[in-house]
Amino acid sequence: MEKTLIILKPSTIERCIVGEIISRFEKKGLYFTGLKMMQLTDELLVQHYSHLADKPFFPSIKASMKRTPVIIGIIEGKDSVRVVRQMAGVTIGRDAAPGTIRGDYSMSRLENIIHASDSIESAQTEINRFFQPEEIFAYQLTVTPVLYTADELTNQ
């Protein structure tokens, strides 16, 4: 199964919708193999947003992401990177389709509830950035046989 990373941003924490967001992934049939709360540092934010670090709006990103702790999770499932990105919706909340996380909970570009890895490669880099190996767990849901057909499980 594929793994991806999410960050539930301070706007999620402040609005008390963490459980709602997590449950959407679980109801879809995805599952968490790592989950923790942490306060992001300048160093982590510069690493994570290195592609934006020289932009004039980067100080706003840092301030937003440091306002409260964040919740970081590893989500596992078939095609999880693509599925989680689709569930998150486009970056600007007011442009995101209803039914997506951002479409249902955000109006903003910056305060947009969630970060989701954009590729298998970036997911692995981000997982390594935020998690130690002993913080990642391997298990299979007992409902896996009703989430996927047998050929989907063998053609990973």
pLDDT in tens, 8-29: 999 999 999 999 999 999 999 9
Domains delineated in the chain:
2-154 (3.30.70.141)
C-alpha 94/C-alpha 73 separation (Å) is 25
What's the predicted TM-score (pTM) here?
0.94
Measured between alpha carbons, how far is 1 from 81 in angstroms, rounded to an integer? 11
Which residues are marked as active site? 115
Pairwise CA distance, residues 3 & 141, whole Å? 15
| Rounded CA separation 140/142 (Å) | 6
Write the CA distances from 41 to 63, 109, 113, 137, integer angstroms.
Answer: 10, 21, 19, 25
Query: What mean pLDDT is predicted for residues 28-47?
Result: 97
From the list 39, 7, 4, the residue with the least C-alpha distance to 112 is 7
